[in-house]
Structure 1
Amino acid sequence: LGVPTTRALAAVTTGEEVFRERALPGAVLTRVASSHIRVGTFQFFAARQDIDALRQLADHVIDRHYSIARESERPYLALLEAVIDAQASLVAAWKLIGFIHGVMNTDNSSISGETIDYGPCAFMDTYHPGTVFSSIDQQGRYAYANQAPIAHWNLAGLAQTLIPIIDADNKKSLELAQQTIDTFPSKFERAYNEGASKKLGLETSETDDVLLMTDLLDTMADQHADFTLVFRRLSGLDVEPGPEDDTVRELFDDPAAFDAWARRWRARLKRQGGDPSLRRERMASVNPAYIPRNHRVEEVIRAAEDHGDLAPFYQLHEVLRNPYHEQPEHIAFQTPPRPEEVVRATFCGT
């Protein structure tokens, strides 16, 4: 899907049981990442008031990940800015594919801007901004629409830890840190809006482009439309209405609701001009046909745990290797869950 993330290198079973929401088979997962340092790592040393260790940690992160910060008059402030940039881009990428991390505490917020520690994660089927899957998120703190504000909160925690080393004057440090952390919302919005324009096939910029995306999402929420399928099928539509429209219209409770929005979208595309086939190709490259739908993941887990059968896992893995390419032989993997297949909660072991 093109989103920065840690990768699983190996999983080794221990032969023991681990008790989470129920008894589960124990295993050790070996992960690969450019860094395993988190906001919580900085908070650990800050809580101990170990400024020397905090500075050493910050220097290591700069040298390993953000060497350009070393050229700044205030390298630790430049480090904060770089992490803000990375997190803004990351969370925007999550939202653009309907991903919900599920447990966004500071210890699960990577300094390198990679998705990390997302055990109870999930991808939305039916779109709703308040969607929550994680069984431990009873209050919806980490709901789909809350992910950017939570990332902002986490980064404020990072900024707080860096205050003792940003500037010799503590008051000046606080002012600089506050000014820098206040840039996150606009950076996130810019990254998200740029991605949203690509999902809609917009290659030029107009004032109402943000509203066009917002109104589509509001309509999808009202009409219980599938997030991934709407954007994927939208990628195949022409600038003029045609038979293919029905592939999108059928996703809405009231197809007329989509028709009203589609008229505005098509008018926007006409003002833009350009090669329609190239536009469709570009849309298909950012709107996945396949995601790890929760009911498919659950099928894989059940087959492996209950029957020792890894064949469903390997099949799903193969499909997901090319999420932006149509795979006619695997069309069933695009299908949303039937009512009895809907997964309503995910867990740390998911």
Structure 2
Amino acid sequence: MMEVKYPAPGSVHFNFKNSYARLPDGFYARIAPTPVPAPRLIKLNVELAGRLGLDIAELASAEGIAILAGNRVADGSEPLAMAYAGHQFGYFVRQLGDGRANLLGEVIGRDGVRYDIQLKGAGRTPFSRNGDGRAALGPVLREYIVSEAMAALGVPTTRALAVVATGQPVYRETVLPGAILTRVAASHLRVGTFQYFLAQGDVEDIRRLADYAIARHYPEAADAPRRYRALLDGVIARQGKLVAQWMLLGFIHGVMNTDNTSISGETIDYGPCAFMEAYHPGTVFSSIDHQGRYAYSNQPHAMHWNLTRLAESLLPLLVEEEGSEESGLASAHEALEKFGIHFEAARDAGMRRKLGFVLEREEDTLLAEDLLKRMAENGADYTLTFRRLCDAAAGIEGNQGVRTLFADPAAFDAWETVWRQRLMRESVSAEERAAQMRQVSPAFIPRNHLVEAALRAGIERQDFQPFEELLDVLAHPYDDRPGMERYSLPARPEEQISKTFCGT
């Protein structure tokens, strides 16, 4: 491997405590970010920097910006590009890897958790596959907005620490301004990371990776009688709950490939993602998802498929644990069967909370499904329907706000009668019920037209005020914000966006 020459470190302190760089060379390529001509700080996440124990003034200094742009390597950083494979829309690619990302290292946050610090758009790597290794400003701003919105909504997610404009154009369909996102994650281990070593028939590195994942994310599995089965169980449980959270918020990931499925259970890679407005289970936004593989309602099936690929990758270890191939396969199947249980339990519990139910009744799932069916048939906005249902729970006068969302208000009226009968079996007061519902049904989501308007302002006019205002609203999604009502409303016909793009 060629020797990597790093720029001299300076005085910005990340206190890197790296562990992934201690794994064998086959797990990554050591490579420094490629410098850019004119870095300029667009956004620094002050709250997140504080959580990570980073000095905000240092990060915003000329030297800090140089590090966030990849022009300087911080003291203790061991920059590398991670190797992984992946199924992309069902087709396996033996080698993907970080083609435009650079893992600077890991820090221990104030919460005692280890986090990756990664630059996205940091230049070519051995995994770039003829790409330029760069990112355009628009997709970088989009990932910042949506990942931070997801964090505020309470969804496990990677987060955005900073956006730096590079002063260098990138060439896609048109010439676009370049930028680099500093992404923070519990780790960047993916299902595709395990697939990479399976494709090579390298059982020992699968074991090393599994042991690393256990130590970092599932320490309780270390002492389990079957540690690798416990790892698989842990990932399946987290992903089942994660997809349920997506569904409860009307979120569509858009590109649920195995290389975009995190072992830690975080949402990762915000490319052609979107939040539904008018509810329909078959909704697809991604311009590259021509068959609807990752449509809204297909997300649980897609995740189960991805986790099956993880089970395949761990199968050599499961066979060793169980003592035979037959028993190892049975163990994998047994683990995978639990995905639906985890998903349905989390989804049903979440939907009960959105409908104002504290007690669990057998008919609740059917009542929720009936509402969703009526919403789909009447073009009702997903987020607004559940938010306004909070007002209806507080008092019958709130019904009108929900009715206006249905093309045929009588469709809601028929459902509302049964819903109120069900509410009568609860002992919670109307005011308390409404308050609890507002804690799980947001007033604000990153609606596509608002995100695109903020991106256009930044790209075309270098005006980042709409970006900042949108971030401010999305930081408190469950709070009513007088004067900010326009951020809660769906797009007008001329504002509607039916396609989103990956940005690579």
What is the aligned counterpart of 1:34 among 186, 192, 198? 186
Aligned residues: 349
| 1:110 counterpart residue number | 262
- Post-superposition Cα deviations, 1:8-32, rounded to whole Å, max 9, x if no partner, equal 1112223333344544322221100
Q: CA RMSD in A?
A: 1.3
Matched ranges for 1:59-78 at <5 A = 59-78=211-230
- The structure 2 residue matched to 1:83, chosen from 222, 235, 240, is 235
Which of 204, 214, 219 pairs up with 1:52? 204
CA contact (8 A) 2:356 2:434 kept: yes
2:363 to 174, 194, 208: 208
Q: 1:282 aligns with which of 436, 441, 452?
A: 436
Amino acid at match of 1:298: E
SS in 2 for 1:13: strand
Q: Which stretch has the larger CA shift, 223-232 or 24-33?
A: 24-33
Q: What one-letter code is carried by the residue in structure 2 that aligns with 1:50? A: D
**What are the ranges of 5 or more consecutive residues in structure 2 without an aligned counterpart?**
1-152
Q: Which has the higher strand share?
A: 2
For residue 404 of structure 2, the aligned residue among 228, 246, 250 is 250
Amino acid at match of 1:246: Q
- Return 309-318 or 233-242, whichever deviates more: 233-242
Q: Secondary structure at the match of 2:391?
A: coil
The Cα offsets for residues 264-283 of structure 1, whole Å up to 9 and x where unpaired, read as 11000001232111110000
Q: Distance in 2 between matches of 1:127 and 1:23?
A: 35
Moved more, 155-164 or 26-35: 26-35
SS, match of residue 10 in structure 1: strand
Q: Tell me, what secondary structure is at the counterpart of 1:14?
A: strand
Deviations 1:75-130 (A, max 9, x none): 00000000000000100000000000010000000000000012111001110001
- Distance in 2 between residues matched to 1:240 and 1:329, nearest whole Å: 23
Q: One-letter code of the match for 2:286?
A: S
1:301 is matched with which residue: 441, 445, 455? 455
If the length of structure 1 is used for normalisation, what is the TM-score? 0.97
Asked if 2 retains the 8 angstrom alpha-carbon contact of 1:101 and 1:120, the reply is yes
Point out where structure 1 has 5 or more consecutive residues left out of the alignment: none
| 8 Å CA contact 1:74, 1:167 repeated in 2 | no
Partner residue, 2:343 = 188
Q: Is the 8 A contact 2:374 2:412 kept in 1?
A: yes
Partner deviation per Cα, 1:19-50 (whole Å, 9 max, x = no partner):
44544322221100111100000000111111
Structure having the higher helix fraction is 1
2-structure distance, mates of 1:111, 1:153: 14
Distance 1:102 1:348, change over 3 A: same
Scaled by the length of structure 2, the TM-score of the pair is 0.68
Distance 1:280 1:122 in 2: 27
Check 1:161–1:187 CA distance in 2 against 1; reply closer, same or farther (3 A cut): same
Residue 182 of structure 1 aligns to a residue whose secondary structure is helix
Equivalent residue number for residue 177 of structure 1: 332
Runs of 4+ in 1 over 6 A off after TM superposition: none
What's the offset of the Cα at 1:182?
1.4
1:21 and 1:94, CA in 2 relative to 1: closer, same or farther beyond 3 A?
farther
* Larger Rg over CA atoms: 2
Q: How far apart in 1 are the matches of 2:308 and 2:396?
A: 47
Relative distance call for 1:318 and 1:220 in structure 2 (3 A) is: same
Which gives a bigger RCO, structure 1 or 2 (Cα 8 Å, sep 6+)? Answer: 1
The one-letter amino acid of 1:209's match is: D
* Partners of 1:37 and 1:110 within 8 A in 2: yes
Q: Which range is displaced more, 233-242 or 82-91?
A: 233-242
Determine what percentage of the aligned residue pairs are the same residue. Answer: 54
C-alpha distance in 2, partners of 1:179/1:320? 40
1:165 corresponds in structure 2 to 317
Letter in 2 for 1:163: L
Letter in 2 for 1:176: S
Quickly say closer, same or farther: Cα 1:292–1:240, change in 2 above 3 A.
closer
Which amino acid in the other structure matches residue 157 of structure 1? R
